[in-house]
């Protein structure tokens, strides 16, 4: 089942300007006499999509090609198709629009749609459904979510990845309860401006579906669909490209829905959901099903790739030419759209991970976890004490041991005696390299160099000072202290977990890989 979003496009769309009036994208064509087209010298003429040719020049064309030619018929065909398929793809957040709902009931719908939209980013629908159902059981209203802790939220999110989405949901809920009486704003402009983690696309989706606002959407699926529909072969993240696509989405939504020629008028949420659904199920990234597409006969990309449209004899006057499309490689029909861009290579980083175990005389085994900052990568998740982004030349020998000692004393303020066997003090009795774990994020390739560290001494594990404590906090005594409560430990940012609890803690996939590798030492 296809993903609802393509994250590299989606991230750019979400960070777009909050201005909702679509810009003018092209000059209107004039009635001047057309000139015969002269092919560029050395260009290859393709007569059929199956012709054995590796390259075709991008034929000169008017900028008006990238405008919706008949919004009414496009909208009509789209809604007729969506009516037939929406029920067959049942989703718990997909409900018929009811204009008679009260203000509070509409706000509740907005909350439900918001949760689903954030979960669906970079995640397949089939994967999201059980997570969504569990979420709504735990946090049925936005006030329930706002009252939760980041640990509760991350625990419910565990396995979906991209944990920053969960923390933004929590901060957005808290902002809504504090400043908007527990109701998400009922218009996209205010929602985008005031609610953390909601960009232009998400605001449009939520407000059109829940509140019936006439506002367009442009996620990764709609971006791809409209790029093909308009035969737009330009830099996909460029401002000019996005302006054209937002304008097209707006034209289909507004002009089409207002037209008296359209008997199948649906509320704005229907139109937007139809575009998203068509992009995710029919106009897919690698295997588009053009034969089943309700917009095929109007699709410029499909017509351009057909034999009958390849060799048009007329070109527009120079004032009317499109200036943003780039030379086009032929060979895959509509797959040429949108224009492919070379992805940036993920930067490589090396982290030194210390799996620190404290073992009692009775063989109780506890492992130290530290909570990451509430913002940034893997926000609010637990990890083993880690020295991030160390030099790539580090070895699993003396240098790692010295770094460990420095980390324990200066970062988590855990004082140990390396060689002491005094039962009244903590001491390192074993340090063993575990190996490397490779974990790739969207923009970082992490190598976790793992070492296991065994501590002994005293009757309770040591309780390090949390990372965010005041700098004036004194280094804890080497002598055993009365243990703090588990809730106090974990709320402070550091905690010891029983060996059987580590896998159930709020840890990311990379940390889970580290844990599974380390367990091989004794399993």
- Residue carrying the six token digits 């003396």: 398
In order, the DSSP letters of 89-101 are: S--TT-----TT-
Q: Which residues neighbour 453 within 8 Å (Cβ) at sequence distance 6 or greater?
A: 354, 355, 356, 357, 404, 428, 430, 431
Beta bridge partners of 496: 368
Q: How far apart are CA 167 and CA 378, in angstroms?
A: 9
Q: Which residues neighbour 408 within 8 Å (Cβ) at sequence distance 6 or greater?
A: 385, 414, 415, 416
177, containing H or E segment: helix 164-179
Using CA atoms, how far residue 255 sits from 62, 67, 209, 394, in Å, is: 22, 12, 18, 62
Q: Are 501 and 368 in contact (CB under 8 A)?
A: no
What token pair was written down for 469?
């404590």
Q: How far apart are CA 423 and CA 481, in angstroms?
A: 13
Q: How far apart are CA 446 and CA 443, in angstroms?
A: 10
Q: Are 354 and 404 in contact (CB under 8 A)?
A: yes
What token pair was written down for 285?
């990234």
The alpha carbon torsion through 88, 251, 298, 313 (nearest 10 deg) reads: -160
- DSSP SS3 for 162: coil
Q: How far apart are CA 58 and CA 387, in angstroms?
A: 51
- Residue carrying the six token digits 């060996």: 499
Q: How far apart are CA 92 and CA 20, in angstroms?
A: 29
Angle at 17 between CA 13 and CA 22, to 5 degrees: 90
Q: How far apart are CA 471 and CA 464, in angstroms?
A: 14
Give which of 130, 103, 132 is closest to 115, Cα–Cα: 132
Q: Buried (b) or exposed (e) across 124-145, using 16+ Cβ within 10 A?
A: ebebbbebbeebbeebebbeeb
Q: How far apart are CA 68 and CA 230, in angstroms?
A: 7
What token pair was written down for 513?
């890989």
Q: Buried (b) or exposed (e) across 91-114, using 16+ Cβ within 10 A?
A: eebbeebeeeeeeeebbbbbbbbb
How many CB atoms are located within 10 Å of the residue 334 CB? Answer: 24
Q: Are 171 and 134 in contact (CB under 8 A)?
A: no
Set 10, 14, 56, 117: catalytic member: 117
**117 is an active site residue:** yes
Q: Known catalytic residues?
A: 117
């Amino acid at each position: 089942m296809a993903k609802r979003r393509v994250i590299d496009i989606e991230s750019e769309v979400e960070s777009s300007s909050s201005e909702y009036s679509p810009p003018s994208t092209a000059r209107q064509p004039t009635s001047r006499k057309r000139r015969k087209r002269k092919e560029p010298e050395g260009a290859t003429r393709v007569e059929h999509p199956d012709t054995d040719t590796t390259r075709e020049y991008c034929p000169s064309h008017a900028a008006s090609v990238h405008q919706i030619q008949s919004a009414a018929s496009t909208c009509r065909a789209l809604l007729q198709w969506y009516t037939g398929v929406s029920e067959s793809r049942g989703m718990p957040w997909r409900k018929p629009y009811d204009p008679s709902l009260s203000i509070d009931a509409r706000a509740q719908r907005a909350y439900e749609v918001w949760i689903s939209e954030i979960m669906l980013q970079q995640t397949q629908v089939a994967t999201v459904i059980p997570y969504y159902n569990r979420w709504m059981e735990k946090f049925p209203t936005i006030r329930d979510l706002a009252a939760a802790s980041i640990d509760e939220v991350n625990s419910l999110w565990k396995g979906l990845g991209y944990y920053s989405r969960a923390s933004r949901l929590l901060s957005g809920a808290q902002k809504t309860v504090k400043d908007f009486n527990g109701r998400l704003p009922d218009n996209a402009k205010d929602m985008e401006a005031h609610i953390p983690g909601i960009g232009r696309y998400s605001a449009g989706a939520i407000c059109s579906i829940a509140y019936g606002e006439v506002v367009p959407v442009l996620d990764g699926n709609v971006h791809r669909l409209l790029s093909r529909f308009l035969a737009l072969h330009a830099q996909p993240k460029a401002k000019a490209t996005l302006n054209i696509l937002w304008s097209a989405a707006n034209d289909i939504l507004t002009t089409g829905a207002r037209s008296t020629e359209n008997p199948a008028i649906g509320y704005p949420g229907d139109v937007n959901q139809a575009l998203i659904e068509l992009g995710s199920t029919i106009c897919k990234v690698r295997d588009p099903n053009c034969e089943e597409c309700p917009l095929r006969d109007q699709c410029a990309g499909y017509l351009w790739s057909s034999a009958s449209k390849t060799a048009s004899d007329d070109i527009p006057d120079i004032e009317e030419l499109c200036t943003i499309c780039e030379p086009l490689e032929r060979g895959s029909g509509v797959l040429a759209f949108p224009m492919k861009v070379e992805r940036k290579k993920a930067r490589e980083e090396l982290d030194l991970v210390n799996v620190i175990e404290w073992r009692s005389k009775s063989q109780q085994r506890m492992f130290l976890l530290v909570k990451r900052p509430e913002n940034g990568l893997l926000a609010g998740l637990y990890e083993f004490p880690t020295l991030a982004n160390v030099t790539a030349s580090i070895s699993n020998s003396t240098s790692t041991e010295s770094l460990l000692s420095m980390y324990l004393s200066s970062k988590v303020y855990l004082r140990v005696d390396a060689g002491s066997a005094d039962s009244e003090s903590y001491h390192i009795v074993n340090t063993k390299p575990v190996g490397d774990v490779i974990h790739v994020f969207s923009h970082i390739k992490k190598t976790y160099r793992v070492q296991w560290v065994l501590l002994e001494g005293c009757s309770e594990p040591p309780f390090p000072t949390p990372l965010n404590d005041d700098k004036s906090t004194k280094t804890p005594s080497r002598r055993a202290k009365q243990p703090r409560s588990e809730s106090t430990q974990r709320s402070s940012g550091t905690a010891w977990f029983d060996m059987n609890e580590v896998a159930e803690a709020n840890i990311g996939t990379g940390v889970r890989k580290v844990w599974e590798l380390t367990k091989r030492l004794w399993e």
